[in-house]
Homo-oligomer: A and B are copies of this chain.
Amino acid sequence: MTELDRRSLLVGSGLGMAAAALAISSAPQAGAAVTAPGRSTIRIGKQLINVVDLTHELTNDFNLTPGRPRIAMDPIVGSGYAVGMNLNRLMLVEHTGTHIDAPRHFDNNGKSLGEIPISDLVVPLALFDISARVAANPDTALMPDDVFAWEKKWGRLPAGCCVAINSGYDMIARVKAMQAGGPPADFHKSPGFGPEVCEMLITQRDVKGIAVDTGSIDRGSNSPAYPVHQRWLRSGRWGIEFLTNMQDVPPSGAVLIAGAAPIKDATGIPIRAIALF
């Protein structure tokens, strides 16, 4: 069968980004509580830790190809039906909503979801806010100079970290606009990673994953070759796409929990992504 890959539809044009000057001036104080929806706190040992949900609710708003839903449910009438049990068979395209790309996504011999150890899924989070320049150039990429600037302020990228881009991309607004009028003319423009910084993070730093709030770790103009997907995933590392709420997470000092069910042979899966700091 054939199906349009969602990347060709979901990559951003900058729609909804005008109001997205989501500056993070400094790291929140340890122990400071955040209480908005999607936020919580938890005590671990002697510390009160902030919790931020980085996950979009997975709805049919993510279905962008008419007649080809990315998620559907088929109720099962099982042995518990008589006592009120509800149970569904779920049809789910792996790379839907806030989700993880396993190396297998672009490497037949790469790790599937079931092979990614927990030590790779609970990692330091280095966050890059490029929302200020996205308004001017929706196809902007994270560059090695951004990493140098981050390190000048916060120190070297922590060992085994995830490097995440907060572009201010408003995925929900973007999808609704596209559903109303179809893909805009510049749908191949969206912020993301470029080959230069990808190569640097693989060869000169110790990074386990990269993450974005857009639909693709590749910036839009990289399509359809997906050079970052090819190089990054084939190096044995993972990617996360469609994060949200990153404006509430400090640039340095947070931990990312990539709550991905370890499904054997799967190339990706919707996750619960959580920041702790």
Contacts and interface: CB of A to CB of B under 8 A. Distances in A.
Interface of A: 1-5, 7-8, 30, 37-40, 42-47, 49, 51-53, 55-60, 71, 73, 76-80, 82-95, 97-99, 104-108, 114, 117-119, 121-124, 224-226, 229-230, 253, 255, 257-272, 274, 276-277
A156 to B, nearest CB: 15
B259 A259 contact: yes
Given A44-B44, A45-B47, A118-B38, A224 B80 contact: yes
A241 to B, nearest CB: 13
Given A51-B119, A272-B121, A77 B2 contact: yes
A259 B274 contact: yes
A7 B80 contact: yes
Given A53-B117, A83-B226, A88-B266, 6 more contacts: A5-B85, A7-B80, A42-B255, A86-B105, A99-B261, A261-B272
Given A47-B47, A91-B90, A92-B92, A78 B123 contact: no
A36 to B, nearest CB: 11
